Every structure is written in structure tokens, then in C-alpha cells.
Amino acid sequence: MENNPSSSRTDRKTAERNRRNQMKALYSQLNSLVPNQSSRVSIPPSDPVLSLPDQLDEAASYIKRLQTNLEKMKEKKDGLMGVERTNYASMTSCNGATTGLRPPQIEVREMGSTLEIVLITGLDGQFMFNETIRVLHEEGAEIINASFSAVEDTVFHTIHSKVEDSAPSNGAARISQRLKKFVHDDCAF
């Protein structure tokens, strides 16, 4: 077999051209994901297009800002969740002595394969409501309707759900028991 040097050179040139075109398309795609920043305003009007290294620097800076914002949001969320639970635990007791917050109460009515859950909490009871919904989902219940009414410092949450046919026959009883245990255990600490 004879090696043709011009053919080999052409193949390398074509491969390099394809690689450059692919990199150019990827740079363009990356640049399109970075929103217009005020830093672009500082570019002289005669040169509105950023150089490739500047585009990469801007994309890297944008990603770092997103990561920083994400971390701040996670910390804020964790703080809010911790504060909500801490406040609830430290300010409420289930023996009737409260310091401005209402101890939760729950009533579960079984009507065949449907459940009506009435959760009565103080104004701080969003966590209890969320956990009630989570328990229902874990048990395979379908939420049909959920509503609430607030009267002074008391919130009445009403949830209607249907226990799936695939759930065991005692699914409604198990859900009822689990919800009551959750509210009781939360009151106990």
C-alpha cells in the first residue's frame, strides 16, 4: 500500500477544521446561555463582540455566581426549616401550656376508600400540613382536595383523599394511625 502524503495532510486539515467548527458551535452555545450582563455595557460600542477568552471568563463568572446564590438559598431554606421546627418545639407543649402557638390536633374520618383529614394548627403549622401531605403520598393516597381557613391564630386544614385500590384493605386505617402518631410524636418533644 502506498501512503499518499497529500491525502493524509488533507484528512488532518479536514479533521482540524471540523474540530474548530465544533468548538466554535459549543462556545456559541455556552455564550447563549449566559444572560446579558451589565459588564457588556462597559465594552466600547465600536467592539460589541467579546473575545473568546472574555466570553469564557464571563461564563465562568456567571456559573460561580449561580453556585454562590444556590448555596445561599440552601442555607436560607435550611435556616427557615430549622427555625420553624425549633420555634414549634420550643414554644408549644401538648399539655395545654402554650406560649402563643397552638398545639396541633388531627382528626381522620374514614369513609370507605376516602379519607377526610382535619388538621388544626397554629399559624406556624405549615410544616405539619406539608408532612401530612407527604405521609398521604407515601401511603399511595391520592389528594382530591386540600383547603385551609384561618381564624385568628388557628388554621383549619381540610384534606380529602382517596386510598388507591392497589393499597392494602386496611390502608385507610394505617394512614389514620400514622398521621395521629406523627402529630402526637411531634407534640411529645
Any domain includes 41 = no
Any domain includes 125 = yes
pLDDT of residue 56 exceeding 90: no
Any domain includes 152 = yes
Any domain includes 170 = yes
Any domain includes 173 = yes
Q: Are 158 and 118 in contact (CB under 8 A)?
A: yes
Domains identified in the chain, total number: 1
- For the segment 11-50, what is each residue's pLDDT rounded down to a tens digit? 999 999 999 999 989 988 888 888 875 444 444 555 567 7
The CATH number of the domain where 178 resides is what? 3.30.70.260
Any domain includes 130 = yes
Supply the pLDDT for residue 84: 46
Structural domain boundaries, residue 127:
105-188
Mean of per-residue pLDDT scores for the chain: 77
Average pLDDT of span 59-80 = 87
Question: Inter-axis angle of helices 171-188 and 126-138, to 10 degrees?
Answer: 150
Secondary structure of residue 29 in the 3-state scheme: helix
Any domain includes 154 = yes
Any domain includes 93 = no
